[in-house]
Amino acid sequence: MRALVFFAAIAAAAAQGGGVQVQSAWARATPGDAQTAAVYVTLLAKTGDRLVGISTPAAQNAELHTMTMDGNVMKMRQVDAIDLPAGQTVTLKPGGFHVMLTGLTRPLKEGQSFPLTLTFANTGAQQVTVNVQKVGAMGPGNAAGNGTNMPGMNMPMNH
């Protein structure tokens, strides 16, 4: 019996040592009848992993996207996965990688929250709570921005 408890303790310690830490999941409130939104989050994989999928009951579709600038045009495109190198923080943020939600089931209102399930290649699925910030926020808990801090915000978008 002691051996069983000992091995169970080792397995639990190993499980805690791996995995992905998920911090500061947030989204901006949506203006009017907007049907799209983006989610941002900070990820740290101790042993390296890949974010390979996302889902939420808050939208009909959730995809991994990246944003780049091509001249004066902001372009977003879907990506299959986001690499999480061992021991390095990867931040999904405005102007870069993000989770794109389309077909919102209801508007996102400041102060509300919703669940998001992140699926990792090695670690499996992990559910987090996304906190909704102000329209134009540039980070969790930040005041609204006027678009000048986000590259391409006032430029045409090709999605």
Average of per-residue pLDDT values in the chain: 81
What does the buried/exposed string (b/e) look like for 23-33 if buried means 16 or more CB atoms within 10 Å of the residue's CB?
Answer: ebbbbbbbeee
Position 142 scores a pLDDT of: 54
- pTM score of the predicted model: 0.77
Could you tell me if residue 7 is inside a domain? no
Task: Indicate whether 12 belongs to any domain.
Answer: no
Would residue 6 count as lying in a domain?
no
For the chain, percent of residues with pLDDT exceeding 90: 64
Whole-number Å distance between alpha carbons of 32 and 155: 21
Give the CATH number, domain containing residue 33. Answer: 2.60.40.1890
Containing structural domain, residue 71: 19-158
Count of domains forming the chain = 1
Assigned domain for 83 exists: yes
- Is residue 35 scored above 90 in pLDDT? yes
Q: What is the rounded CA–CA span in Å between residue 77 and residue 4?
A: 49
Residue 17 has what pLDDT? 43
Please indicate, yes or no, if residue 11 is contained in any of the structural domains. Answer: no
Question: 4 in a domain, yes or no?
Answer: no
Residue pLDDT, tens place only, 97-125 = 999 999 999 999 999 999 999 999 999 99
Question: From CA 67, how far away is CA 119, in angstroms rounded?
Answer: 21
Residue 145 binned pLDDT confidence (cut-offs 50, 70, 90): very low
